[in-house]
Amino acid sequence: MRTSEHTIADRTVLVTGANRGIGYALVEAALNRGARRVYAGMRDPVDHPDRRVVALPLDVTDPAQIKAVADNIADLDVLVNNAGLGTYEELSDRTALESHLAVNLYGPYDLTLAVLPQLTASRGHVVNILSLAAVASLPVMPAYSISKAAAHSLTQAQRALFTTHGVRVHAVLTGPVDTDMTRGLDIPKTAPAAVAHAIYDGLEADQDDIFPDPMSATLEPAWDSGVIRTLERANSALRPAAAS
Ligand SMILES: NC(=O)c1ccc[n+]([C@@H]2O[C@H](COP(=O)([O-])OP(=O)(O)OC[C@H]3O[C@@H](n4cnc5c(N)ncnc54)[C@H](OP(=O)(O)O)[C@@H]3O)[C@@H](O)[C@H]2O)c1
């Protein structure tokens, strides 16, 4: 029995960057929660033993692959924009900034618009896997931080504008997770499986902003009454007439 209208059970979920790290854990957690179908977007697709999983070729910077995914998925309840690039370089490296924006900003932007008809039909959810670096820049990863801040702004805009479509948009403000992306960092990290379940817990609880690990969770109590959420709520009243 469903405990809320937002459960993963019996739903169709698309996860990008599904071959490793948090994306792989999100696929496993969705299966564990009884998802009906999980589309696993990967640059190099590999089959999954569970017949509910459909592996799809999906480089989120490739317009043709995004179109093919949108054309071939008949229905969709939850899109998880997880695929991400996070590398360490100098702020002076402009090509690094462009690469991060291509994957972390334009990837979710293009894919979400491509499958918006399916999400509108299901009154579904977009889950954008962001980072605490979206809120305060990490000087060791400036291009990554800029791209996640832009993706956070995209999330806020989509959240306000997609209300007319009945589509909910969630930001996941993730702290350090034990994946390849943080391999060289000697800091406390949370296991991807725990993070994946916390993300779906937040979705099922219909939280706008999800804090899926112990470090990010320390921000949660003050978040909703803080300046960012207060301004976001005030600004969302200023939607264009056509979108209100
Ligand atoms: N790990 C952390 O501490 C942390 C913290 C905050 C937020 N996050 C976010 O969580 C998400 C997952 O990160 P992770 O830690 O699992 O990283 P990861 O282990 O480095 O995995 C990154 C994933 O993104 C995929 N990817 C990269 N570029 C892509 C593209 N152009 N098209 C499609 N897929 C692409 C990779 O595919 P390939 O295998 O083909 O490269 C891989 O599946 C990212 O958005 C990241 O920014 C992570």
Which pLDDT score, from 0 to 100, does residue 179 have?
Answer: 98
For 96-134, the pLDDT digits (tens) are: 999 999 999 999 999 999 999 999 999 999 999 999 999
- Closest listed residue to residue 122, CA positions, set 166, 159, 162, 68: 166
Work out the pLDDT band at 4, boundaries 50, 70, 90: low
Ligand 1 residue neighbourhood (C-beta within 6 Å): 16-17, 19-23, 43, 58-61, 82-86, 103, 129, 131, 174, 176-177, 179-182
User: CA-based angle 181:84:105, to the nearest 5?
Assistant: 140
* Residue of 14, 43, 215 with the most ligand 1 atoms within 8 Å of its CB, for mutation: 43
Query: What is the spatial order of strands in the sheet that 78-81 belongs to?
Result: 53-57, 37-42, 12-16, 78-81, 125-131, 168-174, 209-210
> Which is the catalytic residue, given 24, 39, 144, 200?
144
Atom 48 of ligand 1, nearest CA residue: 177
Structural domains in the chain plus CATH codes = 12-237 (3.40.50.720)
Q: Is 144 a catalytic residue?
A: yes
Q: Which atom of ligand 1 is nearest to the CA of 189?
A: 3
Which pLDDT score, from 0 to 100, does residue 2 have?
Answer: 37
What distance in angstroms lies between residue 96's CA and the mean position of ligand 1's atoms? 15
Which residues contact residue 101 at a Cβ distance below 8 angstroms, ignoring those fewer than 6 apart?
146, 147, 150
User: Torsion over CA of 215, 216, 218 and 221, rounded to 10 degrees?
Assistant: -170
Q: Which pairs count as long-range contacts for 203-206, CB under 8 Å and 24+ apart, including other chains?
A: 203/6, 203/8, 203/78, 203/125, 203/127, 203/170, 204/3, 204/4, 204/6, 204/7, 204/8, 205/4, 205/6, 206/4, 206/6, 206/168
Q: Is the pLDDT of residue 181 over 80?
A: yes
For 149-177, the pLDDT digits (tens) are: 999 999 999 999 999 999 999 999 999 99
Q: Which atom of ligand 1 is nearest to the CA of 133?
A: 6
User: Which residue shows structure tokens 């179109």?
Assistant: 67
Q: Which atom of ligand 1 is nearest to the CA of 22?
A: 16
What distance in angstroms lies between residue 117's CA and the mean position of ligand 1's atoms? 26
What distance in angstroms lies between residue 84's CA and the mean position of ligand 1's atoms? 4
Percent of the chain with pLDDT strictly greater than 90: 93
User: Cα-atom radius of gyration of the chain, to the nearest Å?
Assistant: 17
What distance in angstroms lies between residue 129's CA and the mean position of ligand 1's atoms? 9
Q: What is the pTM of this model?
A: 0.97
How far, CA to CA in Å, does 16 sit from each of 1, 19, 42, 69, 120? Answer: 28, 9, 6, 11, 19
